[in-house]
Amino acid sequence: MASRIKRILLGRPLKSTELGEQKLRKTKALAILSSDALSSVAYGPEQILLVLVAIGATAFWYSIPIGIGVLVLLTALILSYRQIIFAYPHGGGAYVVSKENLGLSYGLVAGGSLLVDYILTVAVSVSAGTDALTSAFPSLHPYNVPIAVVFVIGITLLNLRGVTESASVLAYPVYLFVLALFVLIGVGLYRIAAGDVSPELHASLGTPVAGISLFILLRAFASGSSALTGVEAISNAIPNFKSPAPGNAAKTLIAMGALLAVLFSGIVFLAYYYGISPLPEVTVVSQIAEETFGRRFLYYFIQGTTALILILAANTGYSAFPLLAVNLAKDKFIPRMFTVRGDRLGYSNGIIFLGVLSIVLIVAFHGQTEHLIPLYAVGVFIPFTLSQSGMIRKWIREKPPGWAPKLVINFIGALISFTVTLMFFLTKFAMVWPVLVFLPIILFVFYRIRRHYEAVGEQLRIASCEPAVPIEGNVIIVPVSGITHVVERSLNYARSLKAEQIIAVYVPFEREEELRFEEKWSKWKPDIRLVTLHSPYRSIIQPLMRFIDSVQRKAGESNYQVTVIIPQFIPRKSWHNILHNQTSFMIRTRLLMYGKDIIMTTVPYHLRK
């Protein structure tokens, strides 16, 4: 039943050898990996204006130089990541690059921030998309949280189905969004060129502004660069590309950078030229669209595709998180289960983990995740800085042919990323301080997990220590609850093992019961020794454990192995279990935790009715 539902939702299981067919073509990869970056066009320019509006509308012209600054940063990042792609063709996330060039702890800082960040990406972007949707249909507003949760579940299922299938579904909205914004920017520029827009709506460039300061400009720049979150996704996901993976990934990265640059500068310019001021209820893109088309079809088309792409931006997290988790798990910093491929060849544990945690975040913040945005941006720029710095180290150390220009590119990238990170801490400390708490905790956990795995490996390795103690004979203990078929089968099995000794143990709560049972037993199985352990406190486990302990001590002296054979009847339906006292189960659990080398054997007796 459950497995039928799974098949319908996820499709048939795939063979390991079908992995190649699951790889991405460039057009699909662009859609699936750039939705996060492209969607930030919907809020990035607005972030700049939100800072400048504190000074006054005349300050808006500064959005043009700030926008140019962001474009420079974008260019630097794209070029740097292109270099990373070729230098780390097996997937060069910030984790791998920082680890190999700067050292393990730097790598873990980068990996840890990204891990948390992808969860934030999913929560933030799905919440934002849901907000956009329910703004259009206000009657849905009270259901924001359940709607967002349903979206997360939907995206999780899509990703469990597998990479290419989710790409097919997700490609259309991304391209529609790009198309919609192209039309908007094109028509807007045409109207400006045709003189339809009054040039008096905006202050001209260079107008002196009272009260402007370098601090505010840097803050506006930092806010604007939150539009660049997501550009690292492609470099993490190189293994998902069809071969030649690095070449295809690099081309996709350039295409994404170009699209992002065009859309971002278009929106910044139109907002400036139209003299748009950020409003609490209506987004900047929405104002531009209304200005350009009026509230007609194209306006709604732009609003609709924006809502969609915000939701789909979550998908970038789904592509990158499991791959990063695999890298961390292979290095033994997180549980090994993250390396297991599911039925559909995706890393299902990572996908499910990401889905569950983002749902937790959405529910915990009642779907109002906007104030997580700065936190999320910092979580991106820390690994940006680390990976760029890592590349600098690499070029200096290896000095391959033509390393000098490469070094310059990465140096500029590192410098700007570092500045942006610093700006966030200086100008928005109240919102980004949790990073300083999470990161040390995450690093601590990473190292603890690694230490555990290493200790286990050490102990299991055959080469490492003395040979096992030989087993020279067997003592079998059978706890019995009565004279039944279940017990009989267990005793028969015990006999078939030709052990040195078989002891049946009965735990009566009252004296009369004890005598009665001993008498019955001597008639039923006179050849098997019965020990009764009277239990005045009505506990079966405790006297039994004490008894097993004493047998174990004696058996140990002559290298005999103690086995406890537990008779267990299995009801035909699993809910029947609540009708039976789970004594067998409790005996087993206690023995397992007990720390002594008792072997446990379960002899099942399956009920037919």
- Residues 436-455 interacting with a second copy (rule: CB under 8 A): 449, 452-453, 455
Residue 528 as a binder of a second copy (CB under 8 A): the answer is no
343 belongs to the binding site for a second copy (CB under 8 A): yes
What are the b/e assignments for 593-602, b being 16+ CB within 10 Å? eeeeebeebe
Distance CA(54)–CA(278), nearest Å, equals: 11
**138: which residues sit within 8 A by CB, 6+ positions away?**
none
| Binding flag, residue 335, a second copy (CB under 8 A) | yes
> Which of 193, 194, 210, 468 touches a second copy by CB under 8 A?
468
List the x/- string, 543-562, binding to a second copy by CB under 8 A. ------------------x-
The conformation of residue 497, written as its DSSP 8-state character, comes to: T
If you search the block for the tokens 């039943």, which residue do you land on? 1
Residue 244: asked if its preceding bond is cis (omega within 30°), the reply is: yes
- Residue 404's alpha-carbon distances to 65, 80, 407, in angstroms, are 28, 13, 5
Q: Which is nearer to a second copy, 397 or 606 (CB)?
A: 606
Write each residue from 276 to 315 as x if it is in contact with a second copy (CB under 8 A), else as -, in one continuous string. ----------------------------------------
The smaller minimum CB distance to a second copy, of residues 137 and 575, is found at 575
Question: Would you say 207 or 559 has its CB closer to a second copy?
Answer: 559
Q: Out of 9, 54, 258, 337, name the contact with a second copy by CB under 8 A.
A: 337
Count other C-beta atoms under 10 Å from residue 199's C-beta: 10
Alpha-carbon gap, residue 352 to 342, rounded angstroms: 11
* Residue of 27, 492, 522, 550 that binds a second copy (CB under 8 A): 492
Which residue in this structure is represented by tokens 């929405």? 286
> Whose Cβ is closer to a second copy: residue 228's or residue 540's?
540
Among 210, 462, 523, 527, binds a second copy (CB under 8 A): 462
Q: Considering the complex, state which of residue 29 and residue 163 has its C-beta at the smaller distance from a second copy.
A: 163
Residue of 212, 489, 514, 590 interacting with a second copy (CB under 8 A): 489
For the bound state, the minimum distance from the C-beta of residue 99 to a second copy, rounded and expressed in Å, comes to 21
CB of 32 within 8 A of CB of 178?
no
Question: How close are the terminal C-alpha atoms of the chain, in Å?
Answer: 21
Q: Which tokens in the block code for residue 143?
A: 């259901």
Asked if 348 is part of the footprint of a second copy (rule: CB under 8 A), the reply reads no
In the bound complex, what is the minimum distance in angstroms from residue 284's beta carbon to a second copy? 40
Among positions 469-488, residues that touch a second copy (CB under 8 A) are 470-474, 482-486, 488
The token pair that represents 218 in the structure block: 């840097």
Neighbours of 467 (CB within 10 A): 6
Distance separating alpha carbons of residues 397 and 414, to the nearest angstrom: 17
Cβ neighbors of 145 (< 8 A, separation 6 or more) are: 362, 363, 366, 367
Closer of 14 and 53 to a second copy (Cβ)? 14
Q: What is the DSSP letter of 578?
A: G
| Shortest reach from residue 279's CB to a second copy, in Å | 35
Binding region for a second copy (CB under 8 A) out of 198-206, 208-216, 388-396, 531-539: 531-539
Please report how close the Cβ of residue 478 comes to a second copy at its closest, in angstroms. Answer: 13
Cα separation, 353 vs 581, in Å, equals 35
**HSE-up of 500 (CA within 13 Å, CB side)?**
13
Closer residue to a second copy (CB): 134 or 552:
552
The correct pick among 21, 142, 576, 586 for binding a second copy (CB under 8 A) is 576
Instruction: Provide the minimum distance between the beta carbon of 183 and a second copy in the complex, in angstroms, as a whole number.
Output: 46
Dihedral angle at the C-alpha atoms of 206, 212, 214, 215, nearest 10 degrees?
-150
Give 191's strand partners: none
Question: Is 17 an interacting residue with respect to a second copy (CB under 8 A)?
Answer: yes
Q: Choose, by CB under 8 A, the member of 5, 8, 15, 138 that binds a second copy.
A: 15
Quote the least distance from Cβ 498 to a second copy, whole Å.
5
Residues 582 to 601: which contact a second copy by CB under 8 A?
A: 588, 592-593, 595-601
Distance CA 363, CA 148 (A): 9
